[in-house]
Copies of this chain bind each other. A is one copy, B any other.
């Protein structure tokens, strides 16, 4: 049984149905006390305006999603991408979000070199640390599923996230976001979550559908797939994580087509029965 006070809903779960104002309204109306915001929507609505809306609503934020894609082999492109992450950190600070979810970036077709892409991502994070510290927003390194390694993130496992954190030596400002959908398959999951310990600063849940039809937009509601979500929640809690459980469901063929209040009602139920 998840303490209902620990439930957070990620804006992307209602991405096509709701403007930012409508999204906050749905949460308030259904008694959900925490959200994670999607950057594109926030910029569309305006960062200051979003910050005011959130403050007035009394909704807490568990995160701001996302910044990154800094693996370009072109130095100018990579520097511009890091500047963009700095702006995202500034926005997260303005919103009073505790962390920015960091998506490393993929493998560039120009060099086809995954080891170099990883090295550039790690160097780039090191370069971003002073700015993150100055604005007080944690960089949440999020291992993403290997199926989006080419396009979105060469950070593919908890083990690699821990190795990066070891190298960076900045656990005060660089943490790890554990997303069940991205890491559930990992044979080393339990030991690497334990190793991460207090580095875990964000925990995202959704389920893996057996008949998955898309590499990014076909996540399942908790309880509809094959992931033992309570087991993974126990792992992160045993590692010391006691924060929000953030529901993040990209679902083009199902939940994105449904009424927002219905989606939130199902989430509240499944947070109790299947998370």
Contact yes or no, A187 B210, CB < 8 A: no
Contact A150 B112 (CB under 8 A): no
B114 touches A184 (CB 8 A): yes
Q: Kindly state the separation between the CA atoms of A71 and B97 in the bound complex, as whole angstroms.
A: 43
Q: Please, how many angstroms separate the alpha-carbon atoms of A107 and B157 in the complex?
A: 20
Q: Give the contact-size bracket for chain A.
A: 35 or more
A264 to B118, CA, bound (A): 34
* Contact residue among B118, B147, B187 (Cβ-Cβ distance under 8 Å from A157): B187
- Chain B residues near A257 (CB, 8 Å)? none
Q: Does A188 contact B (CB under 8 A)?
A: yes
Question: A212-B215, A215-B215 known; A109 and B187 CB under 8 Å?
Answer: no
- Which B residues touch A209, using CB under 8 A? 150
Given contact pairs A114-B185, A210-B109, A225 touches B150 in the complex (Cβ within 8 A): yes
Q: How far is the CA of A157 from the CA of B188 in the complex (A)?
A: 10
Would you list 25 pairs from A and B whose C-beta atoms are within 8 A, ordered by A residue?
Answer: A106-B210, A106-B226, A107-B226, A109-B210, A109-B226, A112-B227, A113-B228, A114-B184, A114-B226, A118-B187, A146-B147, A146-B185, A147-B147, A147-B212, A150-B185, A150-B210, A150-B225, A150-B226, A156-B186, A156-B187, A157-B186, A157-B187, A163-B187, A213-B215, A215-B215
Q: Which 6 A-B pairs have the closest CB atoms?
A: A147-B147, A149-B185, A146-B185, A107-B226, A160-B187, A150-B226
Identify the A interface with B (CB < 8 A): 106-109, 112-114, 118, 145-147, 149-151, 154, 156-157, 159-160, 163, 184-188, 208-210, 212-213, 215, 225-228
